[in-house]
Amino acid sequence: MTTEALYLSPTAKLPYCRGCGHSLVVRQLSNALERLGLPPRSIVLTTDIGCVGLADSLFPYLHTVHTTHGRSTAFATGMALADAAMEPQGLKPIVMIGDGGAMIGLLHLVHAAQLNVDITVLLHNNFMFGMTGGQHSALSPLNWVTATTPDGNSIPPLDILALLRTAHATFLARQFATSPDLATTIADAINYPGFSVVEIVELCTAYGTRWNQATGASLKEIADRQGYAIGELETEIERPTFRDLYRHEQNVRKPKRAKPPVPRLNTTAQLKNEVRVVLAGTAGERVQSAAALLCRAALSVGLYSTQKNDNPVTQGSGFSLSEICLSPKPIDYTGMECPDVVLAVSDEGWKELQANGTVAACREETLLFVDSQIEAHPPMGCVVPLPLRREANPKRAALAAIAAWLENNPLLPPEAWDAALAADPAERRAESLAALEVGRRLGGECVKSS
């Protein structure tokens, strides 16, 4: 097989209108590939929608992926990203996209530039949508007459290369389709190890030259008027490609140690039926982590548990709430039709319980352990006010509330807490144990007094 046969055959019948700039590009792409002598299977031609997307069948020995409007860059990026994580690697996607596709898929170009993935984008800028009948695009020059701007375009055109420069693209070039340097520029772009773009300024002969006084020679005039630099543009200094970054990360990153499983104790819990507990407080005061600790303690004595958390939309302020079910058997329904136990450790938390219907759902048997500062008057249930915030400090009040409740209803043996806390750093464990101690004391006092 000669290299010629590997790329575009000189006798290939091109699918474009006579004189269409796209036909010059495919020939120069083929020349560039021949010059580089890359193995054809290391290349994937990723084409967009539009006339520009008709190129696939012209390159019978390359992998081809014909995609959706504007998304070719994103599919190519996905292939290049995956390639960076594979062995052996070395895939080179070449994207062929029009000015229409470039705008609808602008975000994909920007992100590919930021990532510096190893893809080459050939942006065929013929100033309009060819395939759909010559409508104007975001890259149409001022006064350009199109099917949708019969009096001339009045919106200034976008300079995509300037935009991609701000996304830290490090290879940016612009050439006329008619330029003798086009093949060299394309070859340089493909050879470049990161993200590269060549904007090719060309004409749509079906619509562009029909409605505008434009020839190949006037392309330079248009470019000058728009301040479009031609050739390989100067960019910021080189920076690592995505491949480099991935390789580096693989070398420096250590697997995270997962939290060890909770040890299973020989003791079993004193629990016959499911209990449903609602724990409410203020965000940032370790409400949800106290609930998680309760579930871990329950797990150590063979109980099943579910935990659901709730916050306002902003996670760092306002109420913080956990709903916990503990059960000797697997738990189906996780809702709180009527809670068995309500633990409220801040006013914010209590207000949320009022707002979300928990307070109204309390029954006569519901036990409510609430901080003494809260004005809690539920229609039903037994309220036990305790100075949790004062005695245990606000950040440990939730855990203390759990301990106070359990002192009155000893479901869990003390060892369960040791098991739950085993994996925590010493300082944190000591804090938690102190909170549990305060809770037990407060809970014990109220047992005595009742």
Ligand X SMILES: Cc1ncc(C[n+]2csc(CCOP(=O)(O)OP(=O)(O)O)c2C)c(N)n1
307 binds another protein (CB under 8 A): yes
Only segment of 25-33, 43-51, 190-198, 374-382 that touches ligand X (CB under 6 A): 43-51
Q: What angle do CA 359, 365, 370 make, to 5 degrees?
A: 50
Q: Which does 122 bind (CB under 5 to 8 A by kind): ligand X, another protein, ligand SF4, none?
A: none
Q: Which of 320, 322, 297 is nearest to 433 (CA)?
A: 297
> Closest CB to ligand SF4 among 205 and 432?
205
Q: Which does 100 bind (CB under 5 to 8 A by kind): another protein, ligand X, ligand SF4, none?
A: ligand X
Q: Which does 20 bind (CB under 5 to 8 A by kind): ligand SF4, ligand X, another protein, none?
A: ligand SF4
Tell me the closest approach of the beta carbon of residue 23 to another protein, in angstroms: 18
Answer yes or no: are the C-beta atoms of 207 and 146 closer than 8 Å.
yes
Eight-state DSSP code of residue 134? S
Tell me the closest approach of the beta carbon of residue 18 to ligand X, in angstroms: 15
Only segment of 57-65, 124-132, 181-189, 260-268 that touches ligand X (CB under 6 A): 124-132
253 binds another protein (CB under 8 A): yes
Which amino acid appears at position 280 of this protein?
A
The Cα 185–Cα 200 span in angstroms is: 10
99 binds ligand X (CB under 6 A): yes
Site string for another protein, 89-128 (x = CB under 8 A): -xx---------------xx-xx-----------------
| Tally of residues, the chain | 450
> Closest CB to ligand SF4 among 204 and 343?
204
209 binds ligand X (CB under 6 A): no
Q: Which two three-digit tokens encode residue 35?
A: 């010059």
Tell me the closest approach of the beta carbon of residue 129 to ligand SF4, in angstroms: 8
Compute CA 109 distance to the chain's CA centroid, rounded to the nearest angstrom: 16
Q: How many residues bind another protein (CB under 8 A)?
A: 62
Alpha-carbon separation of residue 39 from 33, 91, 133, 195 (angstroms): 9, 10, 37, 20
To 10 degrees, what angle do helices 414-421 and 287-300 make? 110
In which residue are the tokens 């920076």 written?
239
Answer yes or no: are the C-beta atoms of 396 and 438 closer than 8 Å.
yes
Query: Which listed residue (28, 47, 120, 126) binds ligand X by CB under 6 A?
Result: 126
Q: Which two three-digit tokens encode residue 339?
A: 């809670």
Site string for ligand SF4, 109-148 (x = CB under 6 A): -----------------x---xx-----------------
Answer yes or no: are the C-beta atoms of 266 and 415 closer than 8 Å.
no
- The dihedral built from the CA positions of residue 209, 215, 221 and 226, taken in this order, carries a sign that is positive
206 binds ligand SF4 (CB under 6 A): yes
Q: Taking CB under 8 A as the criterion, which residues in 356-415 touch another protein?
A: none
Query: Which listed residue (68, 148, 354, 409) binds another protein by CB under 8 A?
Result: 68
In which residue are the tokens 């104790």 written?
265
Query: Which listed residue (32, 44, 81, 101) binds ligand X by CB under 6 A?
Result: 101
Give the CA radius of gyration of the chain.
34
Q: How many CA atoms lie within 13 A of 228 on its CB side?
A: 27
49 binds ligand X (CB under 6 A): yes
123 Rama sector, left if φ>0, alpha if ψ -120 to 50, beta otherwise: beta
Q: Which of 133, 150, 48 is nearest to 96 (CA)?
A: 48
51 binds ligand SF4 (CB under 6 A): yes
CB-count exposure of residue 180 (10 Å: 0-12, 13-18, 19+): exposed
> Closest CB to ligand SF4 among 113 and 206?
206
Tell me the closest approach of the beta carbon of residue 131 to ligand X, in angstroms: 4
100 binds ligand X (CB under 6 A): yes
30 binds another protein (CB under 8 A): no
Helical spans, DSSP H, in 212-336 = 218-225, 242-252, 287-300
20 binds ligand SF4 (CB under 6 A): yes
205 binds ligand SF4 (CB under 6 A): yes
How many CB atoms neighbour CB 216 within 10 A?
Answer: 15
The Cα 69–Cα 119 span in angstroms is: 18
> Closest CB to ligand X among 51 and 277?
51
Query: Which listed residue (22, 71, 243, 276) binds ligand SF4 by CB under 6 A?
Result: 22
Q: What does the binding site for ligand SF4 look like in residue numbers (CB under 6 A)?
A: 16-17, 20, 22, 51, 126, 130-131, 204-207
Q: What does the binding site for another protein look like in residue numbers (CB under 8 A)?
A: 40-42, 44, 56-57, 60-68, 71, 74-86, 90-91, 107-108, 110-111, 246, 249-250, 253-256, 292, 295, 299, 303-311, 313, 330-335, 337
